[in-house]
Amino acid sequence: MKTSALRALRRKLAANSPVYGLWVTLESPSVTEIAVALGLDWVVIDAEHGHLDWKEIVEHLRATVRSDTVALVRVASLDAGLIKRALDIGADGVVIPWVESAEQFRQAVSYARYSPEGVRGIGAERATCWGQCFVEHTAEANENVLVVPIIETVKTIRQVPLMTKVDGAEVFFFGPADFSATAGFRGQWEGPGVAEQILAMKDTIRQAGQHCGLIASSEADIVARKEQGFRMIGLGLDAGLLIRSLRSALQTVQRSPRMIASLESDPGPPAPLERPPESMRPDRPEVMNAVGSGQRVELSPGVSFECLVGKHNQAHNLTTGWVTFARDAALPYHTHTFTESITLLQGSASVEIEGRKYVLKRMDNVVIPAGLAHSARNLSATEPAVFQVSLATDTPARTLVEKFFSRRTMPDDSTGLPGAERVNRFATAKRFAAGPNTEFIDFFNETLVPGIEMSGGYGLFAPGGRLPAHVHDFDESICIISGEATCIVEGRRYLMSDGATALQPRGRVHYFINETSSTMEMLWVYAGPMPERIIVQERCATAEGNPWR
């Protein structure tokens, strides 16, 4: 047991400073050596999940000797034998999974302490220098050992206030994935409402003078968790960080790998089809719409909507266009019976959803599911604000809402309320390659926003960037927000720029390419919940190979 490291950790927590660590799941002790060399405050060696055996665990513990990195072992269950063994081989403390009550927490602390305060037996192992330091070790162990329960079930919510009163309570960890599963959202990291429940429990624990921890899901999440008041923040799992780094490196060479549960090699995208399925034969032509050519509607004083794709040009289940706010103009609270996506293209603006105010920067996107009351405002007294909006319907309508909402300004990096709105911060959004020399962002789809009716996002095309020839089983809207794009539709070529928006009906073979020396940006929206492309042979996009002739 490294008492000096434990005291250093506690001093940082007492000063309300975050302590950062790594969750270790791989067998090589080099992983922990690297964490120590980089000055991490703690590591958790995972003996609950995965394949680590006790020999590998002790090698990880040895890698932290004579350092200020606290080494904890997550045992497989609340078991006196497992806790004793982890401490006997030199762990500075233990992490206990699935703790659901104050009584279980008391048991865990008892198992980690020597008599008379607990029931831990004294062994002649590493912790006691193989029996040579019985007096020294047992004199300091009870006072210094760290016992961290993991809260990972909804059953625990009511027990949290009682758990904070347990002798030995210092730090509580949260397991969002298991918590989501017990809330009925298996497979989700934070299912609908789970983030709010975790934050509420965090506040209870902090008010009791104790601290909370969890594993961050990304670099942006590390910052967000610190601002939320979490103080024991995991930078990630060792395997997860390795995968993230490899994916980032592969994306620089235009590869977007994915992993599948069978661990078989992902065969990648299927070979292009000879032609689209006959069942997708289109019933309408494509339509190219320049800004200024669409139907205009005044939504409120100083707020106008220009519809570029919609019922007027035979779009199905989709409406897109531009909303312009004059200086200081505002759109009052209203609701829709369908999902809306809002992306700020120009100016300074805010969007409120039931009192939650989000200040947006250029290209920030807000997705508002059906039924949520929302409003928007131009924050500038001198310049207009311009949004691109997408609606999951071809017959849009709104209902004004007069209800008062208590306003609170959300943090600048807030990504919304799980189970409600989703806010995509353009600067930190995850990017991927959808074709050579491209960079794409998924703003919304069924995976990101369960139950949504449409999908869409952002695309950046470097010079020469392009997509393969493809079709969709639903209508698509593509808005060129900067640069110049060449759109190829079954041999017909269109040059698009300055906000021009294409309607590609279901079944039309098309692709976009940047044939200029500058970058090109687009916003795309599909009238379907997942951005699925059916790749076809390139000749299908030519006049000669047009499959629908």
Query: What band does 247 get if pLDDT is binned at 50, 70 and 90?
Result: confident
pLDDT of residue 266: 65
- Percentage of residues of the chain with pLDDT beyond 90: 86
Task: Compute the distance between CA of residue 228 and CA of residue 425 in angstroms, rounded to an integer.
Answer: 18
Q: Which helix (H) or strand (E) holds 520?
A: strand 520-526
Tell me the pLDDT tens digit for each residue of 47-62.
999 899 999 999 999 9
pLDDT above 60 for 297: yes
Q: Any idea what the Cα angle at residue 36 is, between residues 32 and 40, rounded to 5°? A: 105
Burial class for 482, CB neighbours closer than 10 Å (0-12, 13-18, 19+): middle
- pLDDT bracket for residue 419 (50, 70, 90): confident
Please state whether the peptide bond connecting residue 257 to the residue before it is cis, i.e. omega within 30 degrees of 0.
no
pLDDT reported for residue 251:
63
Predicted structure pTM score: 0.57
Residue 115, CA atoms < 13 Å, CB-side half-sphere: 4
The neighbouring-strand residues paired with 504 are 476
DSSP reduced 3-state for 335: strand
Overall average pLDDT of the 226-231 stretch: 96
Q: What is the C-alpha to C-alpha distance for residues 350 and 277, in angstroms, rounded to an integer? A: 44
Greatest extent of the chain over all pairs of C-alpha atoms, in Å: 90
* pLDDT band at residue 456 under the 50/70/90 scheme: very high
Identify the DSSP state of 13.
Answer: H
Average pLDDT value over all residues in the chain: 94
Alpha helices (runs of H) in 68-193, residue ranges in sequence order: 80-88, 102-112, 134-144, 160-163, 176-182
Reference 88, options 155, 137, 47, 41; nearest CA is 137
- Distance from C-alpha of 227 to C-alpha of 412, rounded to nearest angstrom: 11
| Low-confidence winner among 257-261, 351-355, 417-421 (lowest mean pLDDT) | 257-261
- Encode pLDDT of 171-217 as tens digits: 999 999 999 999 888 888 887 788 899 999 999 999 999 999 999 98
> 267 pLDDT exceeds 70?
no
Residue 31 has pLDDT above 90, yes or no: yes
Summary count for the chain: helices (H), strands (E):
11, 32
User: At 7, is the pLDDT very low, low, confident or very high (cuts 50, 70, 90)?
Assistant: very high
CA 227/CA 246 separation, integer angstroms: 28
- Which region holds residue 419: left if phi is over 0, alpha if psi is between -120 and 50, else beta? left
b/e per residue, 418-444, with b = 16+ CB within 10 A?
bbbbbbbbbeebebbbbbebbbbbbbb
Chain segment 370-386, per-residue pLDDT in tens: 999 999 999 999 999 99
Q: How much is the pLDDT for 181? A: 92
- Cα(453)–Cα(474) distance, integer angstroms: 11
Q: Which residues are catalytic?
A: 49
pLDDT band at 532 (very low <50, low <70, confident <90, very high): confident
Q: Tokens for 15?
A: 């000063």
Task: Determine how β-strand 295-300 pairs with β-strand 303-309.
Answer: antiparallel
Copy the structure tokens of residue 429.
């959004």
| Nearest Cα to Cα of residue 350 among 361, 340, 339, 335 | 361
- For every residue of 273-331, DSSP letters joined together read BSS--GGG--SS--EEE-TTSSEEEEEETTEEEEEEESGGGT-SS-EEEEEEE-TT-EE
**CA nearest neighbour of 126 among 59, 186, 184, 221:** 59
Q: Check residue 545 and report its DSSP letter.
A: T
Cα–Cα distance for residue pair 5/68, rounded to 1 Å: 4
- Residue 256 CB burial class (10 angstroms; 0-12, 13-18, ≥19): middle
Q: Is the pLDDT of residue 254 over 60?
A: no
Which is nearest to 231 in space by CA: 219, 213, 218, 216?
A: 213
pLDDT tens string 306-355? 999 999 999 999 999 999 999 999 999 999 999 999 999 999 999 999 99
172, 208 Cβ separation under 8 angstroms: no
Tokens 């399925």 locate to 277
Q: Is the backbone of residue 177 left (phi > 0), alpha (psi -120 to 50) or beta?
A: alpha
